[in-house]
A and B are shown apart, each in its own frame.
Chain A
Amino acid sequence: MAKLFAGVGTSHVPGIGAAVDHKKTQTDYWKPLFDGYEPAREWMQNEAPDVVIIVYNDHASAFSLELIPTFAIGVAERFQPADEGYGPRKVPVVEGHPELAWHLAESLILDEFDMTIANEMPVDHGLTVPLSIACGEPDIWPCKVIPLCVNVIQYPSPTGNRCYQLGKAIRKAVEAFPADLKVAIFGTGGMSHQLQGERAGLVNADFDIAFLDDLTRNVDRLVRIPHVEYLREAGSEGAELVMWMIMRGALDDDAREVYRHFHVPASNTAAGLIILENP
């Protein structure tokens, strides 16, 4: 049977992808961030998951205001890097796992999570930057990927609790899949940042550190954080952190932290990364 063994929380700042793409990871500005990613890359290489479910949000690339799915799951064979206005990132095409993805869609919907099913879904920096963080610059990505796209742009996004419960349903679905697959889940976005308005540039490191701590110490608190608290304390775009709750919900209650990295700034954002493993 498939096994969901670990979760990773990570920011997905586009500037991080641009630093990789333009060979700037060793500059004074970016080096401290990328040095902290090295242990995560080693972990990824050693653990070598067959499939990674990447929970991310689209940034007006595959979806626009024309259609705003709260939760969309990508079931295609492959997903092309999206053109976000600069031309697509020159990273490998993302290969899907249609069989597991369809199984997830079926199981989740019957479990009363009304997923949108996407056969065509170009993937933007929200998904490809976490892959660059975890895998560096390979010619092909070392794992299959199931994109799980969450609306966090149009208010309201799903609640932290809804996300957490979805994570639990994902866990159940993965472990009912009759193939011997090693599966990890990434929750991406955050940490504290605000891109818009006169308050742009907001960073709340205390909030972020407490969030990282409570992913293992007090998940109940995180599950109950209301949108207004994210908006006020972590910034209007820091509210993306609800996506980490899907990752957390998919893990055991007593999952343990094996690595973390926190750095300010990555352009306008506090960048965080955490690796959690089931016991």
Chain B
Amino acid sequence: MRKDREYSDIPGTYVFDPEHSRQGYHLNMFCMSLNKEANREQFRRDESAYLDVFPMSPEQRDAVLQRDWIGLLRLGGNIYYTFKLAIFDGINMQEIGARMEGVPDEQFKAMMINGGRAIQGNRYQKEWNRSG
């Protein structure tokens, strides 16, 4: 992640900017391939062999196999692409949200029903540093 952009100080946020997009191109294009049922079928049969076609880094490949949802973002994944993998697994967006934050699914769902994550205290990285 770049540190020199005006959005770099927003906490817990991976802006899909040019650098991020370059880093994640093959990872995201793998995710995109899961739009096709025939590809989903092949991936289901042998995940590792299927991934051989996509020239990803070893870290990206591991993150896919381990379903490391936050790692996928840090390695250049974009949520709309990585969500294709979640759809494949039968996981919904709130469950992904919970896993990226590292909290139980029920806790994340309850937060949304109660109005979502508040903006207060969540605008700047320094606010997270103070509380963390």
A-side residues, CB < 8 A to B, are: 15, 59-61, 64-66, 82-87, 153-156, 192-207, 227-228, 231-233, 236-237, 264-265, 267-268, 270
- Looking at chain A's contact residues, the main secondary structure is loop
Interface residues of B in 79-132 (CB under 8 A from A): 79-81, 83-84, 87-88, 92-94, 96-97, 100-102, 108, 111-113, 115-119, 122-123
User: Is the CB–CB distance between B11 and A199 below 8 Å?
Assistant: yes
Most buried by B among A154, A156, A195, A206: A195
B64 in contact (CB, < 8 A): no
> Is B73 within 8 A of A201, CB to CB?
no
A232–B28 alpha-carbon span in the complex (Å):
24
User: Which chain A residues lie closer than 8 Å to B84 at the CB level?
Assistant: 60, 84-85
Determine, out of B17-25, B46-54, B55-63, the stretch whose residues face the partner at the interface.
Answer: B17-25
CA distance A96 to B51 in the complex (A): 38
CA distance A199 to B97 in the complex (A): 9
Question: Do B112 and A201 have beta carbons less than 8 Å apart?
Answer: yes
Beyond A64-B29, A196-B79, 5 additional pairs, beta carbon < 8 A: A65-B29, A199-B13, A200-B108, A231-B10, A268-B112
A195 to B101, CA, bound (A): 11
Contact of B116 among A60, A203, A231 (CB under 8 A): A203
Between-chain CB contacts (< 8 Å), 12 pairs: A65-B28, A83-B37, A85-B84, A155-B16, A197-B73, A198-B12, A199-B10, A200-B117, A206-B119, A207-B119, A227-B7, A267-B94
